Amino acid sequence: MTSLRRAWHTFRYGELMRRLEEWRYGWRWRYALEKLHERRAGAETMHDVSLAELGIEAKERIWYVPSEWMGLRRAIRSLHVTREDVFVDFGSGKGRALLIAAQFPFRRVIGVELAEQLTDLARRNLESARRRRCGEVELVTGDALAYEIPDDVTVAYLFCPFIGDVFHGVFERLLESFDRLPRPLRVVYNYPYEHRYLLSTGRVQVVDVHPDRWPPRSLTGPDVIVTYRVVPPGAAPEPVRSLGLRRAPVWLGPHEPGFRLGPR
């Protein structure tokens, strides 16, 4: 009995220490870094917002939580953006990903967001943004499922804004746009919950993997940004030459790293 109690105490003590370490080296650093980036960008995009709070909660929709500044910036940098490129963020929230994309020479940066309150905040953030290099910025309030995807979009960004049928529907719209006008089109997917579905369509190839944050977590876990290239139906798989993938080849196949939908 005594040894059982001791084992239980050791377990609880270990768990407590693990949490303390996590807080000390993880959360506090991340918070300080986030604050620094916010100040440099002249924006207010921190703090999660639940969809119940906004009165738009529904199955398959994910609440507002911003992308991490450094992770996304590195993923976009590896795309070698030119003036030909057009960026769309599905579920753009308070506009953090738009602010990051606006620091690259995109011809156009578009945000599609369901919650009007969040679009208003994004507009304010973009108006006061510093270090903008992109051309036009466009904000659309509405359901991503109903959004008419322009045929010049070349980068579709999703930070797990929705799952299931909504995700499948939006991806189908993207494929329709690609099939109408074949072009280099990349899907940049942060926390790629629907990775297996995307591969199962046979219409994407993985070209890169980046950690979603700095300091990074594992590249084989769920906290990654995967970049896919959209390919024509029946395209033969091409060999992938990517630095990122040398570290995370698991993402070339139907990887399932234990995604969890809940506070991260």
Binding site for ligand SAM (CB under 6 A): 51, 61-62, 64-67, 89, 91-93, 96-97, 112-115, 118, 143-145, 159-162, 166
- Nearest approach, Cβ of 169 to ligand SAM (angstroms)? 9
Residue 191 near residue 226 (C-beta atoms within 8 A): no
Q: Which is nearer to ligand SAM, 87 or 228 (CB)?
A: 87
- Nearest approach, Cβ of 102 to ligand SAM (angstroms)? 13
Length of the chain: 264
Residue 35 near residue 27 (C-beta atoms within 8 A): no
- Nearest approach, Cβ of 160 to ligand SAM (angstroms)? 6
Q: Which is nearer to ligand SAM, 154 or 190 (CB)?
A: 190
* Radius of gyration in angstroms for the set of CA atoms belonging to the chain, rounded to a whole number: 20
Residue, CB closest to ligand SAM = 91
- Nearest approach, Cβ of 56 to ligand SAM (angstroms)? 7
Beta-carbon contacts of residue 113 (< 8 Å; ≥ 6 apart): 91, 92, 93, 119, 122, 139, 140, 141
Q: How far is CA 140 from the centre of its chain?
A: 18
- Nearest approach, Cβ of 241 to ligand SAM (angstroms)? 28
Q: Which is nearer to ligand SAM, 170 or 205 (CB)?
A: 170
* Burial readout 106-118 (b: 16 or more C-beta within 10 A, e: otherwise): bbbbbbbbbbebb
Q: Which is nearer to ligand SAM, 62 or 245 (CB)?
A: 62
